[in-house]
A = this chain, B = another copy of it.
Amino acid sequence: MAPTLKEVAKEAGVAISTASGILTERPDSWASESTRKRVQEAANRLGYEANRYARGLRIGSFQTIGLLVPDLLNPVYTVYARAIQEALEKAGYSLTVEEAKASLKGESAAVKKLLASQVDGILCFFMDMKAHEKLFTKQKNNNLPMVFFGDSYPNSGIDNVQIDFGRGTKEAIEELIKLGHSNIGVLYGYHPVPKERERADSRMEFFQTVLSKHDLPFPESNLLKSGHTMQNAYDRFKEYLDSTDPTDRVSAVFAINDILALGVMRAAIDHGLSIPEDLSIIGVDNTPMSQFSPIALSSVGYPIREIARTATDFLISRLQGDKEAQREVMFSTHLVHRESIAPPAVEVV
């Protein structure tokens, strides 16, 4: 099918190794101008492109890195993926992405697939890092460079980039408090994490810290867990509304990401509530959909593309032999204030 080096060499009337040296611009290839030209022309004429797998086999690297994401149906990951791909392209690497499809089983499968896939390095967003611990340590010894998003793995030599949700969450919740809210709920659900690690998400922790700092109660019933899709959040919040007495009902909800927040918003609207008068909502990720939503969603944002680039740069430098100590960078977050929040409606007693 596709022309091979051999064919190019034959067409140009040179040896295969000569053609290789010229086409890959190997510095020790001292071909004469005329040979060089003949080979170039032959390659063009045939439309030659090196077979990257054959090449990779030979040089021991397929110049590919793997990315693990929980779920590409959440637009935040497609934004990440694109930024990573662009950064890698500049460095001559290609990207192959594996999706966990928002299940822990899927995540394990994806990790295994990546580790077995001849990639030169790995970038990971984990839902449950702990679950794969043995795998990485093994790979660490195998020298497969990795960088983690979100999870720090102390003393592993694995670089990571983190998002400090502290500031943004604090801004978000304090803004709600300032507006007069005292009965605030939280909806989480992205990560299908085993029970014992369930509350570990830093967004949740910060949320509770801020509440208690302001001496606000946090009844268990204000902790809403759903699946990871808009529909899941919708169903969960609908159920909450249907089963909760309006006087007990939260006047604001902090959702752990934008798509869940939008699911909540839709459920509230279908329940007859007005946003933001009857319910304030804040999301996380500051995806384009939060900005363009007909009722624009307030959201805790952070510099996605910069984070992606940083992680990619870490990986690339490791690939190039950088042996520095384990790196860890923290990015900050902030509240983007939009239409979805307002003072709570006055209680009509």
Q: Footprint of B on A, CB under 8 Å?
A: 1-2, 47, 49, 51-54, 56-57, 62, 72-73, 75, 78-79, 81-82, 96, 99, 116-118, 138, 142-144, 229-231, 234, 262-263, 265-266, 269, 275, 288-289, 292-296
Contact = CB atoms under 8 A, between A and B. Distances in A.
Contacts of A116: 2, 49
Contacts of A289: 262, 289
A265 B142 CA distance: 53
Contact of A230 (B262, B266, B288): B288
Contacts of A269: 294
28 contacts: A1-B142, A1-B143, A2-B116, A51-B57, A51-B118, A52-B117, A52-B118, A54-B57, A57-B57, A72-B81, A72-B82, A73-B75, A73-B79, A82-B99, A96-B96, A230-B288, A234-B292, A262-B289, A262-B294, A263-B292, A265-B292, A265-B294, A266-B292, A266-B296, A275-B294, A289-B289, A293-B293, A295-B295
Contacts of A288: 229-231
Nearest to A78: B72
A271 B53 CA distance: 55
Given A2-B118, A72-B81, A96-B96, 5 more contacts: A52-B118, A53-B62, A73-B82, A78-B78, A266-B293
A221 to B, nearest CB: 25
A66 to B, nearest CB: 12
Nearest to A289: B289
Contacts of A2: 116, 118, 142
A290 to B, nearest CB: 11
The 4 closest A-B pairs by CB, nearest first: A49-B116, A53-B53, A294-B295, A266-B292
A235 B150 CA distance: 35
A62 B51 CA distance: 11
Nearest to A293: B294
B292 A230 contact: yes
A269 B293 CA distance: 10
A81 B72 CA distance: 10
Contacts of A234: 292
A99 to B, nearest CB: 8
Given A52-B118, A62-B53, A294 B292 contact: no
A100 to B, nearest CB: 13
A43 to B, nearest CB: 12
